């Protein structure tokens, strides 16, 4: 039997990059997938089609995770469509990089609202559902930047560090109810987000990675599948790096 058979996973930002790899890997293990995306419907449809080819259910939902109202509506819809949610992956994220001195309040707020508050909204919307079921797995995609800080990413680092506090607090609140909550801290993973970096910046980052190469979305997806499955049922409140040794 596949490790996630008969489970439903809700993956925010599941249409592209790391979220897409997580959605596909969980589908490969038998999970039905609800893909939440922000605006790129074409990418979401393409990912959903690939998921469905694996013989599981796949549906896409447009929702801004930063919005309390939209997350409430979308979670209701997903619960109706799938009959429940077993796995929540808070992966949706954005960057608005610049030095703190130049960082506008709207750029600080946008990153905090999407990357941190988005996860808070989604967990809150599924909290009672998972508590009542006495099972569930929540996986928050943080970053090594949340552990180390990074110049020109004060907003992003604050959000990703905040996600670690959110993860541990959620884990403590829900542990006795059979719900786990863990964080993954990826290093430099190839995706649209990192492809946008200037060549010089990419080289500088790679030089700081002990393994001397970037990671792939699949590297993160492998861990997400493990954390969502029965083999990780006694792991909660943990933060695991997938970074080629970058932040050790
Ligand atoms: P990406 O390729 O830019 O994909 C971002 C995904 O998030 C897309 O599916 C996007 O949907 C969705 N999204 C963005 N804002 C949203 C919102 N407000 N509401 C709902 N969905 C939203 O990013 P990625 O590189 O795969 O990163 C995924 C996660 O991993 C992020 O949290 C990022 O911070 C984290 N991470 C990435 C790296 C890395 O090296 N790539 C390293 C550490 C951590 P649309 O396509 O519809 O816009």
**Rounded distance, CA 13 to CA 23, Å?**
9
Question: What pLDDT score was predicted for residue 12?
Answer: 99
Based on the residue annotation, tell me whether 156 is a catalytic residue of this protein: yes
Give the Å distances, CA to CA, from 103 to 76, 114, 193, 197, 237. 36, 16, 19, 18, 32
Looking at residue 171, what is its pLDDT?
99
CATH placement of domain 8-238 = 3.40.50.720
pLDDT band with cut points at 50, 70 and 90 for residue 165: very high
The string of pLDDT tens digits covering residues 167-221 is: 999 999 999 999 999 999 999 999 998 998 899 989 999 999 999 999 999 999 9
Coil, helix or strand at residue 38: coil
Q: How high is the mean pLDDT of the chain?
A: 98
Q: Which atom belonging to ligand 1 lies closest to the Cα atom of 14? A: 9
Tell me what the mean pLDDT of segment 24-31 comes to: 98
Q: Write the DSSP string, 48-89.
A: HHHHHTTTS-EEEEE--TT-HHHHHHHHHHHHHHHS--SEEE
Q: Which two tokens stand for residue 60?
A: 């896409």
CA 37–ligand 1 middle distance (angstroms): 9
- Model confidence band, residue 114 (pLDDT cutoffs 50, 70, 90): very high
* Catalytic-role residue among 61, 127, 156, 188: 156
Q: Which residues line ligand 1 (CB under 6 A)?
A: 12-13, 15-19, 36-40, 43, 63-66, 91-94, 114-115, 141, 143, 186, 188-189, 191-194
Q: Structural domain boundaries of the chain?
A: 8-238
- CA distances 225 to 139, 165, 187, 210, Å, are 10, 22, 18, 25
Residue 58 is predicted with a pLDDT of 98
pLDDT at 90: 99
To the nearest 10°, report the CA torsion of 52, 22, 163, 180.
Answer: 80
**Quick one: 99 exposed, middle or buried, by C-beta within 10 A (0-12, 13-18, 19+)?**
exposed
pLDDT, tens digit (0-9, with 9 covering 90-100), for 116-130: 999 999 999 999 999
Separation of CA 163 and ligand 1 centre (Å): 15
CA separation, residue 58 to residues 8, 125, 135, 240, 245 (Å): 10, 20, 22, 28, 34
pLDDT of the residue at 218? 98
CA angle at 179 for the pair 109 and 62, rounded to the nearest 5°? 45
Percent of the chain at pLDDT exceeding 70: 100
């Amino acid at each position: 039997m596949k490790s996630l058979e008969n489970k439903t996973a809700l993956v925010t930002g599941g249409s592209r990059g790391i979220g897409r790899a997580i959605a596909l890997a969980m589908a490969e293990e038998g999970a039905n997938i609800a893909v939440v995306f922000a605006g790129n419907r074409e990418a979401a449809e393409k990912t959903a089609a690939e998921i469905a080819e694996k013989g599981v259910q796949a549906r896409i939902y447009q929702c801004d995770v930063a919005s309390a109202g939209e997350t409430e509506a979308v979670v209701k819809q997903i619960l109706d469509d799938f009959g429940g949610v077993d796995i929540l992956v808070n992966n949706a994220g954005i960057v608005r990089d610049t030095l703190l001195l130049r960082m506008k309040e709207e750029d600080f707020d946008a990153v905090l609202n999407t990357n941190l508050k988005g996860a808070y909204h989604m967990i809150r919307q599924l909290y009672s559902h998972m508590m009542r079921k006495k099972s569930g797995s929540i996986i928050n995609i943080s970053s090594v930047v949340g552990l180390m800080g990074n110049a020109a990413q004060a907003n992003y680092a604050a959000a990703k560090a905040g996600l670690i506090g959110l993860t541990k607090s959620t884990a403590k609140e829900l542990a006795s109810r059979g719900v786990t909550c863990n964080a993954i801290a990826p290093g430099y993973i190839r995706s649209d987000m990192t492809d946008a970096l200037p060549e010089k910046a990419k080289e500088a980052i790679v030089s700081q990675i002990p393994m001397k190469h970037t990671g792939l979305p699949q590297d993160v997806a492998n861990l997400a599948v493990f954390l969502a499955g029965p083999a990780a049922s006694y792991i909660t409140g943990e933060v695991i790096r997938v970074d080629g040794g970058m932040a050790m």
